[in-house]
Structure 1
């Protein structure tokens, strides 16, 4: 059974200060997880995690990760701006984007970020708007050569990201002619898999590709970014990925493929979002209505605007009815929000303890791609973000939106 990282008694105190709904983050869990990741890849002198800002774009969270030695991966102008304000710069920023506007490249260049090109046509575009840096990365799409157990993005040939291999060869040579001296290789292939074999399998493909590129172009390969994709166990019966085993699997591939090829000083980067933050955030919400028609419904003060993964993907998020965790799960509910859309459901036919109006519910694993994917449909206002600090106190790290925020961009 999944257990929340916060107790009912703690939540009652927190909700006296911050009304539901809100996203709550566990600082201790975040820090411990970051340290474990660094331990798993400590065998590589240049290892660095570039946290995917898109997963949880909050400056306080980014600062915690910065203190744990992480960099940031940005995909847009505003993510670059936020990272700059937090204090990231230079090699601590990886800029990975697609269909990139010129303003984004201009700021990435100004911040001296590592630019990760998504398409061969972006070489000329980047040169025109910001110039070609000496250190640059390219994103590889291996097409049908890669498969995973992932059901969201398991066919790279259908994904919009990256260069083909022939384009990588052409692109590296072109970039060398334009002054690039050190190269990185990157791939973005899976969105959530807990299989320990995934990262080592991806590493082998990228390591073999790096060796071929080095031989064909003479390019210096300085780093290989394994991107994201390490998932979390959303369901209680699922086992988490073993990051120590994953790190060891990547090390074995490194020793087998890169070292004999003379590429024994290549730095390994990761670009994790969900793995870093997912389990260490939850959506705290209150049951405000119950409805009995053809099915039994529990209506919450949160909705898909607070967490859209169930509505968008049909994704499972575990739900705890606080204080009733040990009671029989003998009531079947659809757990819904108040949007005028029938997919506004956090759970369908979910077996839970009897829910009463006023009960506090915790929706698990919203620390990544939770608040970040929120929106204002039906005029719903974005919820607050609260940090449960290591000493047990709480800190408001983003206030809830108000109607004034919603109307601020309108001419009325």
Structure 2
């Protein structure tokens, strides 16, 4: 079991108290995302330390937190960006991530995306045989461009974890070239032999729900293929191995387990050649860098009872916690309860549901959970939500995107003094105004009557 980060609970309580006191969460703006900047910086530093001693690019998976200020913060900490769409690339560029620190992954890259990636000098992981053929044509069209940072994504087919939707190395995964299919290994070796510009190889076994041993097995098989390709070519054709990300997060407590150091140690034991300096490395961690540093804070609007159980109706539900609402067994979240002033409630726990604002019965973030009695006007905090939650909005019922705020807590602030000025906030994304929602839904000056004009 990994150790919980020292002082995180106190920083979290201080941030909640100040967010309520300063009006970041109010009756008019009843939900917000809070990100512990100190926690994010420490996670980035821990990742760098875990893989110290080898040449490595840590490319943060932008899909985990597609927010420009967050990407810039991580870039300041020495991280690059892994992008899987034109939108994610645009965010990374807006954050100032250098092109040489950007990795493009996607199973559906268009010709225009590939052409842009080559022009910008991004690293590209080719996902299929057909995509490689398309890239052959683009490179021929470009007329001997500068050496591209291009590799193939392979699927080592080592199996899946407990969450099928996040297991990317199964027999029939949609990602990469299936390594164990008949004739596939020979095709891969030949593809590299025929293309001296292919210099990388990439694999990503899966994310939450995948045990470290399974992930390490996929990296081992990919490394062994790289060794075979280089031996066949008679030279170090593959110079960089991209091992993906996917480190699972502990959602049951403040403990950080496993850590990036745990994974690096297992890799060193399983694939020692990965760390002997012959290969550059790329990682693509996302959730494990930010989840523990984030929380969603929401006002409780009403309480009621049904069938003998209390229900708290709050303003955080499927619109910010879509995975938890639709797959609660795979994505359970801890809930902390605070009073109307933002102070932790200490009442005796009682079984309660915590419901969200969306207009369907399953919009529940906790069911029959033992929590301090929740009353109208209190606040609930959904913990460990710094990745994939408040940054990936689900627009059910046309609910606006919540504001997101980074925070830092002075070390002397222990979270007990309601008037202590020890918390500083910075706006990452302002709350979405209703006017913007209307415009996005075709309600602009030129759009509102567009259908009415058709006869």
Which residue matches 1:70? 79
Task: Find out whether 1:234 has 2:251 as its counterpart.
Answer: yes
Q: Which moved further from structure 2: 27-36 or 343-352? A: 343-352
User: What SS is found at the alignment partner of 1:91?
Assistant: helix
1:277 matches 2:290 = yes
Shift, 1:17, TM fit: 7.0
2:177 counterpart SS class: coil
**What is the match of residue 400 of structure 1?**
431
- Whole-angstrom CA distance in 1 between matches of 2:389 and 2:10: 16
Q: State the match for 1:247 in structure 2.
A: 264
- What is aligned with 1:389? 408
* 2:119 aligned residue: 110
- Which of 196, 203, 207 pairs up with 2:219? 203
Whether 1:12 and 2:20 are equivalent positions in the alignment is: yes
Instruction: Give, in whole Å, the separation in 2 of the partners of 1:176 and 1:81.
Output: 34
CA contact (8 A) 1:77 1:107 kept: no
| 1:1-400 equivalences in 2 (<5 Å) | 3=9, 5-7=11-13, 8-16=16-24, 19-44=29-54, 46-129=55-138, 134-143=148-157, 145-148=158-161, 152-154=165-167, 156-165=170-179, 166-167=183-184, 169-171=186-188, 173-174=190-191, 177-178=194-195, 180=197, 182-193=198-209, 195-218=211-234, 220-236=237-253, 240-255=257-272, 257=273, 264-294=277-307, 295-314=309-328, 315-322=331-338, 323-324=343-344, 326-329=346-349, 331-389=350-408, 392-400=423-431
Q: Which segments of 5 or more consecutive residues in structure 2 lack a partner in the other structure?
A: 411-422, 449-455
Cα distance per residue 1:278-325 (max 9 Å; x no partner)? 111111111111122224321111221122111232210100002445
Change over 3 Å in CA distance of 1:211–1:4 after alignment to 2: farther
Measured in 2, the distance between the counterparts of 1:4 and 1:159 equals 42
SS in 1 for 2:238: strand
Q: How far apart in 2 are the matches of 1:342 and 1:80?
A: 37
Larger radius of gyration: 2
How far residue 72 of structure 1 moved from its aligned partner, in angstroms, is: 0.4
Quote how far apart the aligned CAs of 1:350 are.
1.3
Q: 1:287 to 1:321 in 2, by over 3 A?
A: same
Q: Give the structure-2-normalised TM-score.
A: 0.81
Displacement, 1:198?
A: 4.5
Q: Where does structure 1 lack aligned partners over 5 or more consecutive residues?
A: none
SS of match in other structure, 2:381: strand
How far the C-alpha of 1:186 sits from its partner, in A, is: 1.4
Aligned Cα root-mean-square deviation (Å): 2.6
- Quickly say closer, same or farther: Cα 1:238–1:35, change in 2 above 3 A: closer
C-alpha offsets along residues 322-357 of structure 1, whole Å, 9 cap, x if unaligned?
24454322x222211121222211111211110011
Kept in 2: contact 1:193–1:230 (CA 8 A): no
The CA deviation at 1:175 is 5.7
Deviates more, 1:212-221 or 1:126-135: 126-135
